[in-house]
Amino acid sequence: MTNPYVPVLVLMAVAAVLALGGVAASAVIGPKRYNRAKLDAYECGIEPTPHATGGGRLPIKYYLVAMTFIVFDIEVVFLYPWAVDFTTLATFGLVAMLGFLALITVPFVYEWRRGGFDWV
């Protein structure tokens, strides 16, 4: 039991079971009452664009969401290495990262105040 990879394997197995099991279970026991809305493509709750241009490719509106997503996604790129070497980087790293996070907050605040999150 000293192999360090055993917990990882266990974790992966649990993840697989949960993921596959969830899909399978809903397929088996879920009610199957279809209507038009349900048969439409799932587009994040927004009404699907009737005529997708370019032969069924994704409507361009969704790239808007992508943009917002990326702003918040990207901070992880820096957070992750910092987390890995948190101890070594010590106070300097902490302060630097706090500064970074503060800066990341600025566009967030901007977007929020400008109504960027008023989805509906």
Partner 1 sequence: MIPDFTAPLIDWAALAPLLVVLGAGVVGVLVEAFVPDAVRRATQITLALAALAATVVLIVLRWGLIVGSDGAPGVSDVLVGGTVMVTPFALALQGTIVVLAFLGALVVADRTSSGQDAFAPTAAAVPGTSYEDLARRAGLQQTEVYPLLMFATGGMMLFVATDDLLMMFVALEVLSLPLYVLCATARRRRLLSQEAAAKYFLLGAFASALFIFGVALIYGFAGTVRLIGDEDKPGVIRRVLSGDAPLDGMTVLVVAGILLVLVGLLFKLGAVPFHAWTPDVYAGAPTPITGFMAACTKVAAVGALVKVLYTLVVGLPPEVGEQLRTVVIVVAILTMALGTVVGAVQTDIKRLLAYSSIAHAGFLLVAVAGINLESLRAVLFYMVAYGVATVGAFGVVTLVRERTVVPGRADGADGEDGVVLGEATHLSQWAGLGRRAPWLTAAFALFLLSMAGIPLTAGFVAKFGAFGAAVAGDLWWLAVVGVLASVVAVFFYVRVIVLMMFTPPAEEQLLAGAEARAQEAATGTGDEAEAAEASSGAEPAGGGVATETRTEVARTVVTVVGSRGPAAVAIAVCAVATLVLGVFPGPVLELAGEAIKFVP
Partner 2 sequence: MEITNYAVLACILFAIGATTVLLRRNAIVVFMGVELMLNATNLAFVTFARVHGDVTGQVLAFFVMVVAAAEVVVGLAIIVTIFRTRRSASVDDVNLLKG
CA-closest candidate to residue 45, choices 25, 61, 26? 61
CA–CA dist 1, 45 (Å, integer):
47
* Contact partner at residue 103 from partner 1, partner 2, none, CB < 5 to 8 Å by partner kind: partner 1
Whichever of 9 and 103 has its CB closer to partner 1, that residue is 103
Whichever of 70 and 120 has its CB closer to partner 2, that residue is 70
Whichever of 5 and 80 has its CB closer to partner 2, that residue is 80
* Contact partner at residue 63 from partner 2, partner 1, none, CB < 5 to 8 Å by partner kind: partner 2
Contact between 33 and 40 (Cβ < 8 Å): no
Q: How many CB atoms lie within 10 A of CB 49?
A: 14
Task: Give the orientation angle of helix 86-113 with respect to helix 62-84, to 10 degrees.
Answer: 160
* Contact partner at residue 41 from partner 1, partner 2, none, CB < 5 to 8 Å by partner kind: none
Tell me the number of residues near partner 1 by CB under 8 A: 14
